[in-house]
């Protein structure tokens, strides 16, 4: 018999994830601050409050914007959580926030996994997300079959380690976005055809999913989200917070974080390929291509 699932947070990522679970046959109740977004999940019941959503759930999945919002929503539904319920937070938060959440829920007899994802909206729609889970092995074993409907889950350690793995992922993503932007703008400024340069270097050691997907977005100046600048900026800040706790200095991460934060107030909802805009901002008069910018309203 399929476990009953409550899904809290039906945004860009949450909607396709919740839809996949409902389509797989899981009894699913959805909640979102904007009710209409929850109503868009075919096959799901819709709850008016987080507490109502989780009342009959065996598993609760949260997919929210940031750690403080996760904490607030969990506080709202705490009275409705039954002892033994498994909460899986798939949001991107700080490692320390995940560890505090695990301790807080354990005091109420509720189990917890932090299981953030990578792969963006396309990965959520296709069910190919990379899922990094931290928590007790027995809890991961229960969650694994559910998570496989969403992508490829891997248990990476104890509480908070899922968030740490996601931060490692985002460190590589953020840094690679910045480097791809620099490479394409260098090609443009030096007189080469940047699209042809991208084609020429693909398949060599510079090949990456970022070069494939976001390099093309930069060439097209298509900054409609996918992942968003505000999310990447938050992740870079969280990486530096985790590094400080671990006693590490990450100078390249600090530079990339400054770059994303430099455009945060201007284009917070733009795709993370807007790393290009941050680079052009400090290179006045040099612009990649001639297309108009495609930006969210």
Given the structure tokens 């694994």, which residue do they identify? 144
Q: Tell me the β-bridge partners of 45.
A: 29
**251 vs 280: CA distance, rounded Å:** 21
* Burial class for 293, CB neighbours closer than 10 Å (0-12, 13-18, 19+): middle
166 is catalytic: yes
* Burial class for 220, CB neighbours closer than 10 Å (0-12, 13-18, 19+): middle
Q: Which of 166, 230, 266, 269 is catalytic?
A: 166
**200 vs 50: CA distance, rounded Å:** 51
**Phi and psi, residue 97, nearest 5°:** -65, -40
The secondary structure element, H or E, covering residue 87 is strand 86-89
**22 vs 42: CA distance, rounded Å:** 7
Which residues does 250 contact at the CB level (< 8 Å), separation at least 6?
A: 171, 239, 240, 243
| Residues belonging to the active site | 166
């Amino acid at each position: 018999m399929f476990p009953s699932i409550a899904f809290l947070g039906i945004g860009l990522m949450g909607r396709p994830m919740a839809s996949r679970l409902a389509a797989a046959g899981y009894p699913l109740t959805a909640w979102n601050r904007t009710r209409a977004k929850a109503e868009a999940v075919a096959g799901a019941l819709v709850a008016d409050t987080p507490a109502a959503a989780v009342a009959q759930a065996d598993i609760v999945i949260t997919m929210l914007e940031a750690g403080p919002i996760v904490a607030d929503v969990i506080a709202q539904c705490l009275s409705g959580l039954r002892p033994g319920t498994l909460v899986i937070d798939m949001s991107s938060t700080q490692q320390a926030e995940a560890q505090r959440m695990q301790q807080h829920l354990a005091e109420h007899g509720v189990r917890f996994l932090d299981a953030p994802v990578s792969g963006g909206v396309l990965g959520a729609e296709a069910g190919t997300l990379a899922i990094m889970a931290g928590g007790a092995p027995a809890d991961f074993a229960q969650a694994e079959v559910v998570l496989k409907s969403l992508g490829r889950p891997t248990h990476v350690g104890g509480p908070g380690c899922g968030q740490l793995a996601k931060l490692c992922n985002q460190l590589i993503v953020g840094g690679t976005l910045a480097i791809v932007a620099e490479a394409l703008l260098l090609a443009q400024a030096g007189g080469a055809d940047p699209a042809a340069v991208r084609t020429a270097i693909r398949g060599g050691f510079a090949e990456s999913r970022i070069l494939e997907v976001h390099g093309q977005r930069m060439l097209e100046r298509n900054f409609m989200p996918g992942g968003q600048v505000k999310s990447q900026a938050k992740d870079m800040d969280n990486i530096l917070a985790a590094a400080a706790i671990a006693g590490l200095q990450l100078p390249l991460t600090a530079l990339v974080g400054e770059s994303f934060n430099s455009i945060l107030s201007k284009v917070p909802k733009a795709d993370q390929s807007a790393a290009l805009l941050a680079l052009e901002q400090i290179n006045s008069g040099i612009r990649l291509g001639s297309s108009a910018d495609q930006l969210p309203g």
